[in-house]
Each structure stands twice: as structure tokens, then as C-alpha cells.
């Protein structure tokens, strides 16, 4: 089982109403994206960290490890805004290299910082949902808001095949390691290529076998999964509403006094 999947089943927020968690995630994420406010990003990061680590019981070191992955991609994606090559120095910094400057403007740096902050906060919202809500609960919530059935079926099948492919790949790589298939760089590349080819063929065969098994059991185009119905707590709903209103108010107040 994937580690993230294990964490969501052990989370202290596992039995919180899925619709409330989904609504909190979507609304907060949209506020972060639309506002592009660093203050809002900081508040959201802090709130999601407390909810996931303190309430959810996810280990702090593991949470930080997962958060560092998207941060690396955010930094690389904004590198073009932070670093420019020009013959004229800009106002933020300028490093002379030959007849060219490695430079950037204050406007570009501030814009890049806001992009990173809002993106990082948005990712924390998704991690909150992923680390505290099971896939069946997420699919159940999407079904209630009338998400297309075909999309839900694909999500469920892909989710199932992630585990199948990981198990198959792990077995192949274990057999290759026993035969010293990853001893050197050249043999590692060769072994990895063979593993990928074998994995594709086995995945193809297993997908056909799965479809045949579904057909033999009367598959009519819909996979039915047992769901646990949990009533939403009024205190949880009120807390989400108060948080979102407070977040919007803080963003508005920050813009009124000229802070973003």
C-alpha cells in the first residue's frame, strides 16, 4: 500500500465528514489562487500544517518531506522570473559576467515570491485532503456533486492499478537486484528498460483479465463501492465558514493598507 494511502487511513481526521473536508480544500485553494496573497498563503500553510500534523496525526518529518517535493518544482518553474540575462543591470541585483549581467527586477522577484507562496499553499490544501481522506470517500463526494460517471470509473480503475503496477515493478526489481542488475550505471539503465517493457506487457494482460472478470460478474458500466455515511458536524461546518470568511477579510484588509 502507498504510504500516503496508509496515512489517510490512520489519520485522526479520517472519520470527519468528507464533504466538509472537500469543501474546505476547494474553497481555500481557490482563494489562494485568486488572491495571490502572501499573507493568505502563510495563514493557509499554517492552518493546513496544524490540521494535518496535530489533528491528523501525520508525522511532522514526513509532512515536511512531502511538502519539499512540490517546493522544488515551484522554485524551478519560477527560475525564469528570478534570473535574467541582460546587457543592462536591473534594480534587484546584478552580477556582471563578461559583458552580460545576471540580473532581475524587484517587480519580478516579488511576483515570483507571490507565485511560489500561493502555489505552495494550494499544494498544502491538496495534501490536507489526500492525507486525511480515503479515495473511496473522495470518489463518493465527487459522485454527490454529479461528477461524470465515466471519470469516476477511470479514477477508481487507475487508483486500483497503481497498487498492481507498484507490486509488479517491486517484484521485478527485486529479482533484478538479486542478479546484480543495478550494480553499475550501464546495467542499471539496461535493467530499468527491461523492467519498464515487462511492466507494460504485464499491465496490458492484467487489464484484459480485470475487464474479463468484471464482465463475468455482470459489469454494467458502473463500479459500486460500499460507502460509510457520516453526518456533517455543525461545529466543523461553522469552523470552515468562519475560517474562509476570516481569510477573505484578512486579504481585503491587507490590500486596503497596501500589503499583499
Task: State the Cα–Cα distance between residues 6 and 252, nearest whole angstrom.
Answer: 39
* Statement to judge: residues 158 and 211 lie in one domain: yes
The closest of 32, 51, 29 to 41, measured between CA atoms, is 32
Number of domains present in the structure of the chain: 2
Report yes or no: 39 and 254 within 8 Å, Cβ to Cβ: yes
Specify whether 17 is located in the same domain as 92: yes
187 and 248 in a single domain? The answer is no
CA-based nearest residue to 137, from 235, 21, 49, 221: 21
Whether the CB-CB separation of 85 and 100 falls below 8 Å is answered with: yes
Q: What distance separates the 2 farthest-apart alpha carbons in the chain?
A: 73
Q: Answer yes or no: do 128 and 78 share one domain.
A: yes
First to last CA, the chain: 42
Claim to verify: residue 129 and residue 11 sit in the same structural domain: yes
Angle at which helix 18-35 crosses helix 106-132, to 10 degrees, equals 180
167 and 129 within one domain: no
What is the pTM (predicted TM-score) of this model? 0.80
Same domain, 182 and 258: no
Clarify whether residues 65 and 142 are in a common domain.
Answer: yes
- Does 247 lie in the same domain as 212? no
| Digit-coded pLDDT (tens) for 134-144 | 888 888 888 88
pLDDT in tens, the chain (260 residues): 577 778 888 888 888 888 999 999 999 999 999 988 899 999 999 999 999 999 989 899 989 998 888 888 888 888 877 887 877 777 777 887 877 887 888 888 888 888 889 999 999 999 999 899 888 888 888 888 888 888 888 888 788 777 778 778 888 888 888 888 888 888 888 888 888 888 888 888 877 887 788 778 777 767 676 666 777 788 989 999 999 999 999 999 988 887 76
Please indicate, yes or no, whether residues 142 and 209 belong to a single structural domain of this protein: no
Tell me, yes or no, whether 107 and 184 share the same domain.
Answer: no
Using alpha carbons, list the distances in angstroms from residue 212 to 6, 81, 160, 205.
Answer: 30, 52, 16, 11
b/e string for 104-119 if b means 16 or more Cβ within 10 A? bbeebbeebebebbbb
Closest CA to 140 of 21, 237, 51: 21
Domain holding 184, by residue range, is 148-229
- Same domain for 119 and 102? yes
Got the DSSP string for 191-242?
HHHHHHHHHHHHHHHHHHHHHHHHHHTT--S---------PPPHHHHHHHHH
Q: What digits encode the pLDDT tens for the residues 156-196?
A: 878 877 777 877 888 888 888 888 888 888 888 888 888 88
Amino acid at each position: 500500500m502507498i504510504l500516503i494511502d496508509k496515512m489517510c487511513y490512520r489519520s485522526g481526521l479520517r472519520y470527519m465528514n468528507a464533504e466538509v473536508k472537500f469543501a474546505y480544500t476547494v474553497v481555500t485553494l481557490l482563494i489562494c489562487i485568486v488572491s495571490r496573497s502572501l499573507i493568505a498563503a502563510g495563514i493557509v500553510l499554517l492552518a493546513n500544517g496544524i490540521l494535518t500534523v496535530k489533528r491528523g496525526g501525520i508525522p511532522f518529518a514526513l509532512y515536511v518531506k512531502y511538502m519539499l517535493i512540490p517546493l522544488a518544482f515551484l522554485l524551478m518553474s519560477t527560475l525564469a522570473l528570478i534570473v535574467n540575462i541582460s546587457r543592462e543591470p536591473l534594480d534587484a541585483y546584478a552580477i556582471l559576467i563578461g559583458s552580460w549581467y545576471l540580473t532581475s527586477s524587484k517587480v519580478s522577484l516579488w511576483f515570483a515570491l507571490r507565485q511560489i507562496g500561493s502555489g505552495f499553499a494550494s499544494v498544502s490544501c491538496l495534501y490536507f485532503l489526500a492525507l486525511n481522506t480515503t479515495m473511496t470517500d473522495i470518489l463518493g463526494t465527487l459522485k454527490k456533486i454529479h461528477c461524470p460517471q465515466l471519470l469516476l470509473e477511470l479514477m477508481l480503475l487507475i487508483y486500483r492499478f497503481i497498487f498492481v503496477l507498484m507490486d509488479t515493478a517491486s517484484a521485478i526489481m527485486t529479482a533484478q537486484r538479486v542478479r546484480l542488475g543495478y550494480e553499475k550505471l550501464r546495467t542499471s539503465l539496461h535493467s530499468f528498460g527491461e523492467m519498464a517493457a515487462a511492466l507494460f506487457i504485464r499491465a496490458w494482460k492484467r487489464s484484459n483479465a480485470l475487464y474479463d472478470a468484471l464482465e463475468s460478474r455482470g459489469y454494467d458500466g458502473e463500479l459500486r463501492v460500499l460507502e460509510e455515511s457520516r453526518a456533517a458536524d455543525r461545529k466543523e461546518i461553522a469552523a470552515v465558514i468562519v475560517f474562509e470568511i476570516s481569510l477573505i477579510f484578512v486579504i481585503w484588509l491587507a490590500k486596503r493598507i497596501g500589503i499583499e
